[in-house]
Structure 1
Amino acid sequence: MRRLKYAIAVLSVWAGPAVAETPARPNFLIIVADDLGYSDLGAFGGEIDTPNLDAIAKQGVRLTAFHTAPTCSPTRSMLLSGTDNHKAGLGTMAELIAPNQKGKPGFEGYLRPEVATLAELLVAGGYRTLYSGKWHLGLTPAQDPSARGFQHSFTLLQGGHNHFGVGVSDDPIKGSTYRENGKAVAKLPDNFYSSDTFATKLIDQIRATKSGAEGAKPFFAYLAFTAPHWPLQAHPEDIAKYRGRYNEGFEVLRAKRLKRQAELGLIDASRAAHPPVLKNGGWNALSPEQKRTAARDMEIYAAMVDRLDRNVGRVVEALKATGEYDNTVILFLADNGAEALDINATEMVGIKDRAAAADNSFANRGTATSYIGYGPGWAQAATAPSWLYKAYATEGGTRAVAFINHKDFSRQGSIGTPFLTVADVVPTFLDLAGVPDHKGQFQGRTVEPIRGKSWVPWLAGKAERVYAPGDAIGTELFGSRALRQGDWKITDTGDGQWKLFNIVEDPGETRDLSVNQPARRAELIAHWDAYAKDVGVIIPDQRIYRP
C-alpha cells in the first residue's frame, strides 16, 4: 500500500504544510489496443495466446465494467483530458462530422487547446513523458503529441494505416503520416510492422530517458497499438499458428468464450447474454467457401492480437531491466467494443475503394497488399456477453476490456465490478502522482474541468464503488445514446427509441423495462437531456456510420 499511502499523503500536502519526505512517485504506463474485443484475451475468456497480458491482468484488477466512448478518437480524447468527448473536441470523429455539426464547438475533430492533457499536467508535476503509436487527435503541428505534453514521441497521426508501413506520406490527405518528436518521418524502418515498431520506439524512449538528464524523474508512457484494427494484416508464421482454430464458426466461438468467462468468474452464467444480431444469418448460412474465408480472417485477427501480446512482453522486460517495473502502474484498455464493419459491403467510399483496389484473394489475405476486416459475426463473439459492438452506445460498443496493475493496490488479484469510465483515468493518475486537479485553470489558460472520478479510494479498499447511485453519466456518438445511473441504463441505438435496462441484473441488455417502469425511464431521459445540453451534444442530421 506504499504508493496509495503516498497518494493520500501528497493530496494532503497540497492543502497543508510540506512533509520532510515521501515515497517515490509511481511511473504510469497506459497501453491501448485498437478495436480489441472484450473477450479476446485469455484472462477475459478468449482462446488467443496472450500470456503477457493475462499475467498482468490476473496479478492486477480486471475491470469488468469499464466504459469508453463507442469509437476510438472520442475515447482517446476522454482518456487524455478527463472530460467528455464533446467538451474535448471529439463530439464525433474528424472523418465523420455531419453537416449540421460542422463548425460547432466540440466538433472540431481534434483535441482542443481548451483541455489540459494528462501529459501536460504530469510534465508540470515533474514527470518525463513518452508516447508511441496511434494519435488520431489532430493532424497539424499544433495538435501533435509533442505539442500536447509528450516530450518524446513517435506517432501515426491518423486513425488507421497499413500495418506493414505501405503508403507513407507527409501529406495526411495522401497517405499515412508519421512524426517523431514533432518532425515528419520520411521513411519507416525496413522491417516495420506496427506492433513491433511502436513497442520498440517506446522501449528506446524508456531506456534513453532513464539514462539521461531526467532519468531520476518518474515517467508517464503511452503505448497506442493500432492492432487489431483493420486492415487485418499479420506475419504468415503468426497466422499459421492459428490455422484451423476457427473452422467451427463465430457462434461456437462465442459460446466457448461465454463458458470460459463464467468459469473465470467474469460473468454470472444465469444472466442472459444478448443473442448476436446477424442480419445475413449465422455461420450455417455461409457457403463452404465463405466459411473458409471467414475462418482465415479470424486466424489473421488472432495473429495480430498474439503479436501485440508478445510486444507487451518486450516492454515489460525493458521495464524490469531498467528497474522501473515494480514502481509502474500499468493500465491496459481497448478503445471501444469490437469492430463489426463489413468491408465487403460497406458504402463508406474511402474504405470501399481501398478494398476494391486490394488483392483480397484467399492466398493473399493478411499480407501488406490485402485490405480486409472480419465482420459482425466474429465481432459479436468478441463482445460476448454484450449487445452489438463498436459505434453503438450499447454495452457491446462501450464496455471495453481493461485492467490496472500495481503491486501495492489492495485489490490486486481481484475482479472489479464497479461502473468506471475512461474519463476517470486522469483524476486517478493525478491522485497517485500527487498532482492537484487544475480546477479549470492551467498555466494561465482556462481549461475544461475534469469530469471523471478518481479510483484511488476504491483501489485502496476504502470504498466499494466509484460513482454514487445518483450520479448520471451520459454518452453519445453518431446519434446512438446512453445514460447510466446506478443499476439502471437507457440505451438508444440511433433510431431515436429509448430502451430501459437494469444493467446489473441484465448486463446483456436483453429485457426492455420501459413499459414496466415508465417513470424511471422518463427520469433517466430527463437526466440525458440535461447531460446533452451541458456538454453540447448535436445529434447528426444524417446517418454517418452505423455498421
Structure 2
Amino acid sequence: MSVLPFTAARRAACRALACILGCVGISLAAAADERPNFLLILADDMGFSDVGAFGGEIATPHLDQLAASGLRMSNFHATPTCSPTRAELLTGVDHHLAGLANMAELITDAQRGKPGYLGYLDEGVLTVAERLSAAGYRTVMSGKWHLGKQAQQDPHRRGFESAFALLEGGHNHFGKPGMPPASLGGANYTENGEPVGIPEQFYSSDYFTDKLLAFLDEGDGRPFFAYLPFTAPHWPLHAPAANTAKYRGRYDAGWEVLRAQRVAKQAELGLLAANAPVQSPQTLRDWDSLGPDQQREQARKMEIYAGMVDRMDWNIGRVVDYLKQTGQFDNTVIIFLSDNGAAPDTLENMARKVPDFPPIDPGAVKDWGGPDSLLSYGPNWAQAATAPRRLYKSVVAEGGLISPLIIHYGGWPRGGEISNTFANARDIAPTLLEMAGVQVAEASGDRLVVRGRSMLPYLAGERQRVHGADDVFGWELFGQRAIRKNQWKLMFVSSPNGSGEWALYNLDEDPGETLDLSRRHPDVFNELLSWWEEYQRRMQIVLEEQVVSPYTAM
C-alpha cells in the first residue's frame, strides 16, 4: 500500500480543518513528516459516566481536560463486549466478518467452524496498524490484545512494529499468577512477538504506560500510531491503596443515589435531552434491602473500582505530558473510548465452571483491592454507570453499547463541543486512515473492505452528522440482537435481561428503552425486522441464545 494524495472528495472534506490547522502550523499533507500522529486509548469495561466530563464523580482531570478542549460524543456505540469491539476498532469491519462473530471463549458447537467464528482476528482483514505501517507510520502498542493467542495472531504480526501485549482478555492487575487460571492457559505476555515475563513490581495501567512511553521515546521522525488498550477497570478489582483511599465512604449511600447523581450531572452538562425519561430500571436492586455488612462490602467494591479509573487517568496524563514535553501534542489526534458498557459480571458462576479458579473475596474487606483479592462489582453498580440507558455489557441494549468518546486535536472546529450525532467503533479506523492520506478502499490481497465511515467531514465541520438518516446499523452477540435506523431501534433481548420478544424504541425520546412502540408503529417495526433479516444474512450469523449477564446475581 502506498500513501495517496488527497482526492477531490478528501480535499473537500478536509478543507475547513486544513485551513484552521494551517493557522497553527499543522498540515494534513501526505508527506510523512507532516501528517498527524494518532494516540488511541481504550478503557476496558468502563461505564459511560465514569469520566468526570461525562457526569461522573471519579477524579479524571486529564481526560476532562482533553474533553473540555476536544469533542465529546454522547451517542457513540461499540459492541456489547471486548474482543468484537477491538476487532471493529482496529479494522473498520463488522466483527462478524472479521473473525470475532462470537468471543473465542464462548463459541458454541453450532458456530464452531462457520465463517466469522474464528475466535481471532481474520488474517484476511487488514488492521489500521498494517495500513498505516505500509504508509510510512511508526506503529506501537502496549496493553490488552485479546484478538488471538497464536504466534501468527500476535499484534507484532498484525502491523505493530513495537508491541507489548497481554494476549488474554484479563489478568491479575498486580501480576500475581493464577488469573486466568492454569486450566485456561494463564496470563501470557509478549513483546514484539516473543513471550516475556513481567517485573515483580507490576501494576497493569502503570506498566502498560511505561512500555508505551519507552516505545514512543524510540521515535525516528516518522509520524506514529500508538495504541494503549488498558485492562482497567476490568475485573478483578485491583488498585493501588492510595487511589482507593481517595474514595473511602464516597459510595456508602448506594447505587441508587449514585445513579441519580450521575444522571443529574449529565443533564447539567448537556449530555442528555432535557425531557429524557430517567427513571430507575426494574433491574436495579433496592439498596435498603441489603444488610449493613452487605452495604459495606458493596461500597468497598465501588471504591476500588473508582481507584482503578483514577489510576488509569493518571497514566493517561503521563502520556499527554510526554507529548507536550516533546512538542508532539498539538500534532497528535487523541481518541479515548471504552470497549463496551459497564460490566455486570459476577464471578461465582465462573468459579463453578472453571477448574482451578482462584478463591473469591478472600480475607477482610479492608484488604480488598490487593493482589490476593478477586472481586467484581456486579450489575447494580454497572447499571448506575450506564444510566439512564438500560442494562450493561453483553447486552445489545443501549447500556451495553454506549461508550464515552473523546476526540482531541488542537484547532479543530468542534473543539469544546458535545455532540449527540451517532457514530460507532467501525468509524475510527477509516477516520484515522483518511487523516493520514491512506486509501480506505479495498486493496490488493485484502479480502474485506472497510465498512465504517470516516468521521473527518463531520469533525472538519463540513457535515452535521457522521452517518445519513437512512443508514442502517446492526448488532448481534450471544443471540441478543438489534437493528437501528436513525432514531428507531428494534431489539431482541432474552430473559432475564429482556422479554424474549422483539421490541421497538424511539431513542431520541426514550434513551432508556422503557417504552415498546411496536404496536403504535407496525410499519417501522416491519421495516426494521426486514433490515435485521438482511443483516443476519450478510453477516452469516449463527444465532445461539447465550445469556451471559443475568441481572439477578450480586
Q: Give TM-score scaled by structure 2 length.
A: 0.91
CA deviation digits over 1:306-344, x for unaligned, max 9?
Answer: 000000000111111222111000010000000012224
Partner of 2:87: 77
Q: Which amino acid aligns with 1:190?
A: E
Q: 2:363 & 2:338 partners in 1: Cα distance?
A: 27
Q: Which amino acid aligns with 1:182?
A: G
Which of residues 217, 231, 234 in structure 2 aligns to 1:229? 234
Give the match's secondary structure for 2:519: coil
Is residue 452 of structure 2 the alignment partner of residue 424 of structure 1?
no
CA displacement at 1:475 relative to structure 2: 0.5
1:96-495 equivalences under 5 Å are 96-167=106-177, 173-185=184-196, 187-208=197-218, 210=219, 215-273=220-278, 275-278=280-283, 281-344=285-348, 346=349, 349=352, 354=357, 356=359, 359-439=362-442, 441-442=443-444, 445-494=445-494
Q: Which amino acid aligns with 1:332?
A: F
CA displacement at 1:494 relative to structure 2: 2.9
CA displacement at 1:545 relative to structure 2: 5.4
Is residue 508 of structure 2 the alignment partner of residue 504 of structure 1?
yes
Is residue 58 of structure 2 the alignment partner of residue 48 of structure 1?
yes
CA displacement at 1:41 relative to structure 2: 0.6
Q: 2:332 & 2:403 partners in 1: Cα distance?
A: 22
Q: 2:446 & 2:30 partners in 1: Cα distance?
A: 33
CA deviation digits over 1:431-485, x for unaligned, max 9?
Answer: 100001142x34xx23211110011111011111111111111010011111110
Q: Which amino acid aligns with 1:63?
A: M
Structure 1: 5+ residue stretches without partners: 1-5, 14-18
Give the match's secondary structure for 1:331: strand
The 10-residue stretch of structure 1 (235-244 or 87-96) with the greater mean CA deviation from structure 2: 235-244
The 10-residue stretch of structure 1 (269-278 or 315-324) with the greater mean CA deviation from structure 2: 269-278
CA displacement at 1:356 relative to structure 2: 3.1
Structure 2: 5+ residue stretches without partners: 13-28
Q: 1:325 & 1:10 partners in 2: Cα distance?
A: 28
Q: 2:324 & 2:313 partners in 1: Cα distance?
A: 17
Is residue 539 of structure 2 the alignment partner of residue 539 of structure 1?
no
Q: 1:465 & 1:172 partners in 2: Cα distance?
A: 48
Is the Cα–Cα contact under 8 Å of residues 274 and 386 in structure 1 kept in the other structure?
no
Partner of 1:3: none
Q: Which amino acid aligns with 1:487?
A: Q
Is the Cα–Cα contact under 8 Å of residues 82 and 451 in structure 1 kept in the other structure?
yes
Q: Which amino acid aligns with 1:469?
A: A
Structure-2 change in CA distance of 1:73 and 1:277 (3 Å): farther
Structure-2 change in CA distance of 1:488 and 1:263 (3 Å): same
Is the Cα–Cα contact under 8 Å of residues 44 and 230 in structure 2 kept in the other structure?
yes
Q: 2:170 & 2:447 partners in 1: Cα distance?
A: 29
CA deviation digits over 1:60-90, x for unaligned, max 9?
Answer: 1001000000000000000011010000111
Q: 1:72 & 1:125 partners in 2: Cα distance?
A: 28
Give the match's secondary structure for 2:97: helix
Structure-2 change in CA distance of 1:404 and 1:506 (3 Å): same
Structure-2 change in CA distance of 1:112 and 1:302 (3 Å): same
Q: 2:207 & 2:31 partners in 1: Cα distance?
A: 40
Give the match's secondary structure for 1:130: strand
Q: Which amino acid aligns with 1:118?
A: V
CA displacement at 1:166 relative to structure 2: 1.0
CA displacement at 1:276 relative to structure 2: 2.9
Partner of 2:48: 38
CA displacement at 1:542 relative to structure 2: 5.0
CA deviation digits over 1:351-405, x for unaligned, max 9?
Answer: 6963536625313211101110111111111001101000000100001111111
CA deviation digits over 1:112-165, x for unaligned, max 9?
Answer: 012000000000111000000000000001000000000000010000000000
Q: 1:379 & 1:247 partners in 2: Cα distance?
A: 16
Is the Cα–Cα contact under 8 Å of residues 69 and 398 in structure 1 kept in the other structure?
yes
Q: Which amino acid aligns with 1:129?
A: T
Q: 1:433 & 1:99 partners in 2: Cα distance?
A: 42
Give the match's secondary structure for 2:466: coil
Q: 1:169 & 1:481 partners in 2: Cα distance?
A: 31
Which of residues 70, 77, 85 in structure 2 aligns to 1:60? 70
Is the Cα–Cα contact under 8 Å of residues 70 and 407 in structure 2 kept in the other structure?
yes
Structure-2 change in CA distance of 1:352 and 1:231 (3 Å): farther
The 10-residue stretch of structure 1 (296-305 or 23-32) with the greater mean CA deviation from structure 2: 23-32
CA deviation digits over 1:493-535, x for unaligned, max 9?
Answer: 1354111111112111111100101111010010011011101
Is the Cα–Cα contact under 8 Å of residues 278 and 388 in structure 2 kept in the other structure?
yes
CA deviation digits over 1:223-256, x for unaligned, max 9?
Answer: 0000000000111121111100000000000000
Structure-2 change in CA distance of 1:384 and 1:531 (3 Å): same
Is the Cα–Cα contact under 8 Å of residues 96 and 544 in structure 1 kept in the other structure?
no
Give the match's secondary structure for 2:403: coil
Q: Which amino acid aligns with 2:132?
A: L
CA displacement at 1:540 relative to structure 2: 1.2
Q: Which amino acid aligns with 1:244?
A: G
Q: Which amino acid aligns with 2:518?
A: S
Q: 2:195 & 2:30 partners in 1: Cα distance?
A: 45
Q: 1:96 & 1:173 partners in 2: Cα distance?
A: 13
Q: Which amino acid aligns with 1:476?
A: E
Is the Cα–Cα contact under 8 Å of residues 344 and 549 in structure 2 kept in the other structure?
no
Q: 1:88 & 1:513 partners in 2: Cα distance?
A: 34
Is the Cα–Cα contact under 8 Å of residues 230 and 373 in structure 1 kept in the other structure?
yes
How many equivalent pairs are there? 526
CA displacement at 1:278 relative to structure 2: 3.1
The 10-residue stretch of structure 1 (480-489 or 307-316) with the greater mean CA deviation from structure 2: 480-489
Compute the RMSD of aligned alpha carbons. Answer: 2.2
Structure-2 change in CA distance of 1:458 and 1:227 (3 Å): same
CA deviation digits over 1:401-444, x for unaligned, max 9?
Answer: 111110132111100111101000111111100001142x34xx
Q: 1:357 & 1:275 partners in 2: Cα distance?
A: 29
Q: 1:30 & 1:20 partners in 2: Cα distance?
A: 20
